[in-house]
Structure 1
Amino acid sequence: AAVLDAHEAPPSAPVSGDDAVAHWAAVFDRAGARSPEASVALYSLGRPALLDAVTDEIVAWLAAQGLLGAERRVLDLGCGIGRFLVALAPRVALIVGTEVSAVMARTARARSRDHRNVAVLRTGGRDLAPFRDETFDLVLAVDTMPYLVAAGVAERHVVEAFRVLRPGGSLVALNWSYGGDIATDRAAVASLAERSGLAVRVNGSHPFRGWDGAAFLLHRAGAFV
Structure 2
Amino acid sequence: MPARARYGVDAPPVLVGLASAAVFLIAATVVTAVLAGWVAILPGLLALYFVASASLYLHTTKRGKFAVWREILDGLALRGDERALDLGCGRGAVLIAVARRLPAGQATGVDLWRSVDQSGNSPAVTEANATAEGVRVSLDTADMTALPYPDESFDLVVSSMAIHNIHPAAGRLTAVDEALRVLRPGGRLVIADISATKAYASHLDALGLSATTRPLGWRMWWGGPWLPTALVTVVKP
Do both proteins adopt the same fold according to a TM-score greater than 0.5, normalized to the shorter chain?
Answer: yes
Residues 86/215 of structure 1: CA separation in 2 closer, same or farther (3 Å cut): same
Contact kept in structure 2, 1:168 and 1:219, CA below 8 Å: yes
Aligned to 1:118: 137
Give the drift of 1:101.
Answer: 1.4
Contact kept in structure 2, 1:70 and 1:91, CA below 8 Å: yes
Residues 208/6 of structure 1: CA separation in 2 closer, same or farther (3 Å cut): closer
1:101 equivalent to 2:113? Answer yes
Q: Deviations over 1:37-81 (max 9, x none)?
A: xxxx99553x7x962453132122232144x33112211100011
Q: 1:78 aligns with which of 62, 69, 88?
A: 88
Q: Percent identity?
A: 27
Of Structure 1 and Structure 2, which has the larger fraction of its residues in strand? 1
How is 1:131-210 mapped onto 2 (pairs within 5 angstroms)?
131-148=149-166, 150=168, 152-177=170-195, 185-186=197-198, 188-200=199-211, 202-203=212-213, 205-210=214-219
Q: Which has the larger Rg?
A: 2
Partner Cα separation in structure 2 for residue 176 and residue 196 of structure 1? 22
Q: Deviations over 1:131-158 (max 9, x none)?
A: 1111111111100121125453112111
Partner Cα separation in structure 1 for residue 107 and residue 55 of structure 2? 25
Q: Give me the TM-score of the superposition, normalised by structure 1.
A: 0.66
Partner Cα separation in structure 2 for residue 86 and residue 76 of structure 1? 10
Aligned residues: 175
CA RMSD across the alignment: 3.0
Give the drift of 1:110.
Answer: 1.7
The one-letter code matched in structure 1 to 2:129 is R
Q: Give me the TM-score of the superposition, normalised by structure 2.
A: 0.63
Give the drift of 1:214.
Answer: 0.8
Contact kept in structure 2, 1:137 and 1:166, CA below 8 Å: yes
In structure 2, the residue corresponding to 1:59 is in which secondary structure?
Answer: helix
Larger relative contact order (CA 8 Å, sep ≥ 6): 2
Partner Cα separation in structure 1 for residue 192 and residue 90 of structure 2? 14
Residues 153/7 of structure 1: CA separation in 2 closer, same or farther (3 Å cut): farther
Contact kept in structure 2, 1:199 and 1:220, CA below 8 Å: no
Partner Cα separation in structure 2 for residue 208 and residue 65 of structure 1? 19
Partner Cα separation in structure 1 for residue 62 and residue 85 of structure 2? 21
1:3 equivalent to 2:21? Answer no
Partner Cα separation in structure 2 for residue 104 and residue 61 of structure 1? 25
